[in-house]
Structure 1
């Protein structure tokens, strides 16, 4: 479950595509976007990138 503003939203499906790897201690950045927010279900997109090279990890 995640919060958008003051609304509780339920995840019904989570899919992850791993494109690269990160090493222990390596800095990463996470960017999350709420694409659609309904009454009880939301759709979000999340990207995980290496901070130094900006390569997408997942």
Structure 2
């Protein structure tokens, strides 16, 4: 496997994990009624991704 294929693979893995975390953030905020956090995560997507990862690892209920 070439170096560029490995980089592309890692890039795709990171993007899929970030997208899954952001979707998890949106679903959790909609279910819990956290409107302000939902808006913040929609405007600044890193907020949603970090919140989604935090939910996965149990940092936030």
Q: TM-score range by the shorter chain?
A: under 0.3
Provide the TM-score with structure 1 as the length reference. Answer: 0.20
Greater share of residues in strand? 1
